[in-house]
């Protein structure tokens, strides 16, 4: 039944039925988690053999002749730079392979620009008291956390089906020298699974920021993470920037966290030589060299880029049914009520649900009380502030399918319950 068209008697009846259903579900004493985008056990098992590709009898010499057990090769071993070059679609000599986390590299990159100018003649960002960063919303909470930590005013930019609203981005960056950058997850964005259109990428490459040291944080965390047979295609920002002469604008990031093991994978970044010179001058102080054994282990396990893509097919086979459970349950339970909208992504790790305005916090609360943990309402906005109190990020990858089904049933009950409460003026 479509809630907006119901009489208050009809809604009261629906509310009473939902309250009973909620009480029954709560009584089951479940403990389910759809909070963070963590791979499930079955996905982690896909990479177990990587632990067998190296042992005490292995040859630890990389292609560049270096013993990977020892210090050295600050930028990472050649074969791993090549692999990430192919993953990111950039020349391998622009790649730096890091440690186990791309978020760590992003944090470092921002810290670097806080303390040293990325462009000669500009101020380090800590000397810019009114520094600002653009944050496409809904977005990734940990990105926002970094710029919050460094004292940026975060300006939300709405996402549409083509990516961030580029009219707003262009207007803001061309007029305000204190806007220093923008967070982007250009493919299968976190949380709404949108891939930036070709036009959006071209407009990014053509930006004319007032700040000479404006940088695009191009976090391509889900660049090869398809879940359907109709994957999205993302235009190559580095190629486009070469055409516009804006080669220093983007800084790219990715990792194998959702390819092999989160927290025990390999991360990489890529940037122009001008940028990399400044970043490397900083990283040189903080580390001698990253974990080359892990880089070598990854390269030996995959063989080449084709090997990575084949591996991603196995992830896809596991993830597709999980996304189907989420989408089918939303279709069955929430669609008829007309109170919510959600995304149907071709890849990535999330389904982004907009429940009835003013009820997201209540839905998350009801779910928690019934044993289902969700990402906090508002987390997808800077400072946790969703002005519509509507967006909830569903992360379907971690729970086993039977638990996911239960969790989604409870989620839908809670979303409907909260919508009834709102319409009946109870919250
Ligand atoms: N970027 C995005 C968009 C993510 O969703 C995540 C993980 N959830 C990360 C970065 C973190 O990646 P890493 O494990 O490489 O730090």
- Report residue 295 as tokens: 């880089």
254 Cα–ligand 1 center, Å: 8
pLDDT at 380: 96
Does ligand 1 have an atom closer than 6 angstroms to the CB of 141? no
| Ligand 1 and 108: CB distance under 6 A | no
Evaluate: CB of 257 within 6 angstroms of ligand 1. yes
How many whole angstroms from 144 Cα to the centroid of ligand 1? Answer: 12
Report the alpha-carbon distance of residue 343 to residue 120 in Å, rounded. 43
Q: What is the CATH number of domain 3-44+309-423?
A: 3.90.1150.10
Q: What is the pTM of this model?
A: 0.97
**CA 284 to centroid of ligand 1, rounded, Å:** 24
Q: What pLDDT score does 36 carry?
A: 86
Q: What percent of the chain has pLDDT over 90?
A: 99
pLDDT digits (tens, 9 = 90+) for 346-373: 999 999 999 999 999 999 999 999 999 9
Ligand 1 center from residue 423 Cα (angstroms): 37
Residue 31 scores a pLDDT above 90: yes
- Give the residue among 8, 1, 2 at the shortest CA–CA distance from 423: 8
Ligand 1 touching residue 200 (CB < 6 A): no
Q: What is the mean pLDDT of the chain?
A: 97
Regarding the beta carbon of 267 and ligand 1, being less than 6 Å apart is answered yes
61-303 maps to CATH 3.40.640.10: yes
For residue 160, give the nearest of 208, 201, 206, 195 by alpha carbon.
Answer: 195
pLDDT at 289: 96
User: What is the best residue among 102, 191, 396 to mutate for testing ligand 1's pocket, by most ligand atoms within 8 Å of CB?
Assistant: 102
Name the 3-class secondary structure at 143. helix
Question: How far, CA to CA in Å, does 281 sit from each of 109, 116, 153, 285, 288?
Answer: 11, 10, 27, 7, 12
For residue 169, give the H/E element and its range.
Answer: helix 166-175
Give the pLDDT mean for 328-340.
98
pLDDT tens-digit series, residues 53-64 = 999 999 999 999
Asked if 248 and 272 count as a contact pair (C-beta separation under 8 A), the reply is: yes
pLDDT at residue 213 in the model: 98
Confidence (pLDDT) at 61: 96
Which residue has the CA at smallest separation from atom 2 of ligand 1? 221
Cis peptide bond upstream of 191, omega within 30? yes
**Ligand 1 mutation pick, 84, 147, 159, 221, max ligand atoms within 8 A of CB:** 221
How far is 299 from 203, CA to CA, in rounded Å? 35
How far, in Å, is the centroid of ligand 1 from the Cα of 227? 17
* Residue 345 phi, psi dihedral angles, 5° rounding: -80, 155
- The answer to whether the CB of 375 is under 6 A from ligand 1 is no
Provide mean pLDDT across the span 246-263.
98
386 in contact with ligand 1, CB cutoff 6 A? no
Backbone angles phi, psi at 175, to 5 degrees: -110, -15
- Residues 286-320 have pLDDT tens digits of 999 999 999 999 999 999 999 999 999 999 999 99
Instruction: Using alpha carbons, select from 342, 357, 327, 354 the residue that is nearest to residue 4.
Output: 357
- Which residue among 144, 190, 265, 352 is best mutated to probe the pocket of ligand 1, counting the most ligand atoms within 8 A of its Cβ? 190
Which pLDDT band, with edges at 50, 70 and 90, does 390 fall under?
Answer: very high
Structure tokens at 421: 């409460």
- The rounded percent of the chain whose pLDDT value lies above 70 is 100
Nearest ligand 1 atom to alpha carbon 105:
16
| Ligand 1 proximity of 255 Cβ (cutoff 6 Å) | yes
Residue linked to tokens 């009834």: 420
Determine whether the shortest distance from the Cβ of 262 to ligand 1 is under 6 A. Answer: yes
- Count other C-beta atoms under 10 Å from residue 393's C-beta: 25
Interface ipTM above 0.85: yes
Q: Ligand 1 pocket, 101 CB below 6 A?
A: yes
CA atoms lying within 13 Å on the CB side of residue 158 = 7
- Asked whether 103 lines ligand 1 (CB < 6 A), one says yes
Residues 47 and 315: beta-carbon distance below 8 Å? no
Q: Do 3-44+309-423 and 61-303 fold alike per CATH?
A: no
Q: Which residue, among 239, 221, 243, 254, has the nearest Cα to 84 in the 3D structure?
A: 254
Q: What is the pLDDT of residue 43?
A: 98
Which two tokens mark 239? 């190629």
The per-residue pLDDT for range 105-162, each reduced to its tens digit, is: 999 999 999 999 999 999 999 999 999 999 999 999 999 999 999 999 999 999 999 9
Domain ranges of the chain: 3-44+309-423, 61-303
Handedness of CA 73, 63, 247, 291 (dihedral sign): negative
């Amino acid at each position: 039944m479509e809630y907006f068209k119901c009489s208050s008697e009809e809604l009261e009846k629906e509310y009473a039925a939902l309250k009973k259903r909620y009480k029954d579900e709560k009584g089951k004493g479940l403990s389910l988690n759809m909070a963070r985008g963590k791979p499930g056990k079955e996905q982690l098992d896909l990479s177990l053999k990587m632990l067998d590709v190296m042992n005490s009898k292995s040859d630890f010499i990389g292609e560049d002749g270096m013993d990977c057990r020892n210090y050295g090769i600050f930028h990472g071993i050649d074969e791993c730079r090549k692999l990430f070059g192919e993953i990111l679609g950039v020349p391998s000599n622009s790649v730096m392979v890091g440690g186990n986390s791309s978020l760590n590299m992003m944090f470092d990159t921002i810290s670097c620009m806080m303390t040293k100018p990325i462009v000669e003649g500009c101020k380090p960002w800590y000397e810019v008291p009114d520094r600002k960063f653009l944050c496409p919303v809904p977005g990734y909470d940990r990105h926002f956390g970094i710029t919050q930590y460094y004292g940026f005013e975060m300006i939300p930019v709405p996402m549409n089906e083509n990516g961030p609203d580029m009219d707003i981005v262009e207007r803001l960056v061309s007029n305000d020298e204190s806007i220093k950058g923008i967070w982007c997850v250009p493919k299968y964005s976190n949380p709404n699974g949108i891939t930036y259109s070709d036009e959006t990428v071209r407009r990014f490459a053509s930006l004319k920021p007032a700040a000479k040291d404006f940088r695009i944080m191009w976090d391509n965390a889900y660049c090869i993470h398809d879940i359907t047979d109709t994957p999205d295609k993302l235009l190559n920002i580095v190629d486009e920037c070469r055409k516009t002469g804006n080669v220093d604008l983007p800084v790219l990031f990715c990792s194998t966290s959702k390819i092999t093991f989160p927290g025990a994978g390999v991360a990489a970044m890529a940037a122009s030589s001008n940028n990399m010179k400044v970043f490397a001058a900083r990283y040189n102080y903080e580390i001698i060299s990253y974990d080359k054994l892990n880089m070598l282990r990854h390269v030996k396990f995959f063989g080449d880029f084709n090997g990575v893509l084949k591996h991603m097919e196995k992830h896809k086979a596991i993830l597709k049914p999980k996304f189907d459970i989420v989408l089918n349950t939303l279709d069955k339970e929430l669609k008829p009520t007309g109170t919510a909208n959600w995304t149907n992504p071709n890849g990535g790790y999330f389904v982004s649900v907009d429940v009835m305005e003013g009820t997201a916090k209540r839905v998350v609360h009801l779910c928690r009380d019934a044993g289902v943990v969700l990402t906090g309402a508002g987390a997808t906005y800077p400072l946790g502030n969703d002005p519509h109190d509507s967006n909830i990020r569903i992360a379907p990858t971690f729970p086993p399918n039977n638990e996911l089904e239960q969790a989604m049933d409870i989620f839908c009950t809670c979303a409907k319950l909260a919508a009834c409460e709102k319409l009946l003026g109870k919250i």
